[in-house]
């Protein structure tokens, strides 16, 4: 099942995404979700609390619309990162292009990074701590499950 969503990004960012997607022979959507996933795994941004979602600064005439066709699990991942990093999807893309793209592309050129189930390997654990509801995002299988096997 796929979701279609639309956002706007800077023209020069669109050109970069198109270029690298063609170099690695993948869709622009797959390149974007892989880039954001890499940023999350490398902890390029700390979680934000007690603030609203940030959006990009508006600049007239410098944006291009981009359609993203994401799978359900990728869509959930983008929504989760929007909540955790407190950034709109457009700002997530902008942040990753400006801060992570170079390192990400270098890593892609150095090794085969074709792990197909990127977004299925995280779990959200809910619990009460000192009477407060909390949740923990666990990248990979939860340690308790690993100990039982």
**What does the pLDDT read at residue 121?**
61
pLDDT at residue number 2: 83
pLDDT computed for residue 117 by the predictor:
47
Q: Which residues fall within 8 angstroms of residue 137, CB to CB, at 6 or more apart?
A: 80, 84, 122, 123, 124, 125
Take residue 121 and report the two structure tokens written for it.
Answer: 């390997």
Longest dimension (CA), the chain: 56
- Cβ atoms within 10 Å of 81's Cβ, excluding its own: 21
Beta-ladder partners of 4 = 69
Given a cut of 90, whether residue 137 has pLDDT beyond it is no
Phi, psi of 136 (to 5 degrees): -130, 130
Number of CB atoms found within 10 A of residue 85's CB = 21
Q: What is the pLDDT of residue 146?
A: 59
For the stretch 2-61, pLDDT in tens is: 889 899 999 999 999 999 999 999 999 999 999 998 998 888 888 888 888 888 777 776
Q: What is the pLDDT of residues 83-128, one digit of tens each?
A: 889 999 999 999 999 999 999 999 888 876 555 445 556 677 788 9
Element (H, E) at 136: strand 132-139
Q: In this structure, are residues 33 and 74 in contact, taking their beta carbons and an 8 Å threshold?
A: yes
Q: What is the DSSP string of 6-31?
A: EEEEEHHHHHHHHHHHHHTTS-HHHH
Q: 145 by DSSP, 3-state: which?
A: helix
Please give the residue that has the higher pLDDT: either 142 or 75. Answer: 75
């Amino acid at each position: 099942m796929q979701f279609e969503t639309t956002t706007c990004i800077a023209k020069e960012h669109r050109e970069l995404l198109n270029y690298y997607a063609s170099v690695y022979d993948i869709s622009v959507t797959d390149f974007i979700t892989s880039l954001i996933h890499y940023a999350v795994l490398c902890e390029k941004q700390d979680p934000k609390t007690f603030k609203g979602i940030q959006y990009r600064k508006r600049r007239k005439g410098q944006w291009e619309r981009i359609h993203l066709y994401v799978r359900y699990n990728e869509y959930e991942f983008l929504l989760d990162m929007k909540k955790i990093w407190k950034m709109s999807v457009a700002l997530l893309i902008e942040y990753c292009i400006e801060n992570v793209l170079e390192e990400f592309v270098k890593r892609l050129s150095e090794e085969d990074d074709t792990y197909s189930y990127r977004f299925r390997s995280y779990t959200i654990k809910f619990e009460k701590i000192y009477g407060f509801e909390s949740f923990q995002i666990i990248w990979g299988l939860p340690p308790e499950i690993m100990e039982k096997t």
